[in-house]
């Protein structure tokens, strides 16, 4: 029996572009991202928020079909979403980089197994009953962002401006646009977007359900409790705190540290605070 310890999505951006849901048999976290299109074409607050909610609705229906692989489900849903976005005006664009995209993490109980899938930088952590830790996480975006942050720190040291001000530098903006343009290309990062190109690169593991003690899915916004703010020092420590019911407390600590550092000088980052979403579950 799976018991939910924590499940929430806390807004960090102007509009929350994350979504999540769970049932007895599947657990999903989605982190939407705006494309390079500067004009909003959907009816939602942002096109990234639209994608996160639309994909959530489709997955809620389709994941129940245990005879269909998660990869095939995502490919089918990408086709549906692309058709809908194209009808809203996205067919004017010749490149997938203009479409909204999303990191997707999925855990599904199928017969006696736990199927785990992660596309993008929203990690999944699994603690086995023998205390082994399994990690599904693509750090490609983190590495690309770290190169941008290094340049921001250099500008801070060279000019005396805050790291927050350096974020608005034209060189930094060009670096971020260039990174986004590398989406779903070789030697870059893979993510869900309506062309479906990146789906075959999804990270996957299958573990016998009887071997599982606990698992957690989260967006990179929540994972920043470790990656940015170092509230915890490593993944195992993070999982133990989550299993102990400390997820919301960790987020509140993250939020306090972020808003106390308005210059970004103490905790170099690309935005004040990101949306933070997490599901934590224990196998009883």
* pLDDT tens-digit readout, 243-258: 999 999 999 999 999 9
Chain centroid offset of residue 52 CA: 11
- The strand order across the sheet containing 2-10 reads 2-10, 276-283, 212-218, 124-128, 133-136
Structure confidence at residue 155 (pLDDT):
95
Tokens 């009808």 belong to: 87
Cβ atoms 276, 10 nearer than 8 A: yes
| Inter-residue contact 6 to 279 (CB < 8 Å) | yes
Helices assigned H by DSSP within the chain: 47-62, 70-87, 140-159, 163-166, 170-181, 220-227, 235-243, 247-260
Across residues 135-144, what is the average pLDDT? Answer: 94
Helix (H, G, I), strand (E, B) or coil at 277: strand
3-state secondary structure of 173: helix
Give the N- to C-terminal CA distance of the chain in Å, as an integer.
Answer: 5
**Tokens standing for residue 11:** 């807004």
Residues 231, 169: Cα–Cα separation, whole Å: 29
pLDDT digits 0-9 by tens, 6-36: 999 999 989 999 999 999 999 999 999 998 8
pLDDT score of 1 more than 80: yes
pTM: 0.96
Q: Give the model's confidence band at 95: pLDDT under 50 very low, under 70 low, under 90 confident, else very high.
A: confident
Go through 79-115 and write b for each residue having 16 or more CB atoms within 10 A of its CB, e for each that does not: eebbeebeeeebeeeeebbbbbbbbbbbbbbbeeebb
**Could you tell me if 221 and 275 are in contact, meaning their C-beta atoms sit under 8 angstroms apart?**
yes
Neighbours of 118 (CB within 10 A): 23
Please choose, from the candidates 94, 130, 104, 129, the residue with its C-alpha nearest in 3D space to the C-alpha of residue 212.
129
The reported pLDDT for the residue numbered 88 is 94
Lowest mean pLDDT segment, chosen from 92-96, 184-188, 255-259, 271-275? 92-96
Per-residue pLDDT at 175 exceeds 90: yes
């Amino acid at each position: 029996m799976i018991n939910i310890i924590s499940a929430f999505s806390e807004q960090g951006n102007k509009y929350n572009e994350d979504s999540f849901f769970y049932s007895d048999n599947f657990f999903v976290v989605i982190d939407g991202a705006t494309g390079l299109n500067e004009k909003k074409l959907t009816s939602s607050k942002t096109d990234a928020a639209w994608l996160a909610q639309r994909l959530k609705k489709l997955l809620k229906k389709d994941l129940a079909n245990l005879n269909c692989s998660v990869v095939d489900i995502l490919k089918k849903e990408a086709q549906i979403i692309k058709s809908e976005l194209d009808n809203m005006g996205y067919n004017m664009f010749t490149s997938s980089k203009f479409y909204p995209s999303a990191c997707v993490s999925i855990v599904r109980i199928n017969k006696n197994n736990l199927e785990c899938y992660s596309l993008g930088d929203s990690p999944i952590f699994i603690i086995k009953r023998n205390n082994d830790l399994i990690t599904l996480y693509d750090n490609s975006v983190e590495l690309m962002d770290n190169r941008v942050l290094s340049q921001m720190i250099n500008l801070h040291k060279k000019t005396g401006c805050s790291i927050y001000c350096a974020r608005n530098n034209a060189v930094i903006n060009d670096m971020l646009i260039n990174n986004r343009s590398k989406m779903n290309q070789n030697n870059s990062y893979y993510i869900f977007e309506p062309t479906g190109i990146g789906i075959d690169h999804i990270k996957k593991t299958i573990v016998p359900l009887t071997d599982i003690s606990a698992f957690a899915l989260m967006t990179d916004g929540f994972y920043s409790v470790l990656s940015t703010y170092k509230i915890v020092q490593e993944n195992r420590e993070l999982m133990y705190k989550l299993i102990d019911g400390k997820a919301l407390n960790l987020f509140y600590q993250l939020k306090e540290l972020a808003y106390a550092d308005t210059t970004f000088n103490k905790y170099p980052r690309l935005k004040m605070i990101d949306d933070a979403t997490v599901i934590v579950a224990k196998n009883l």
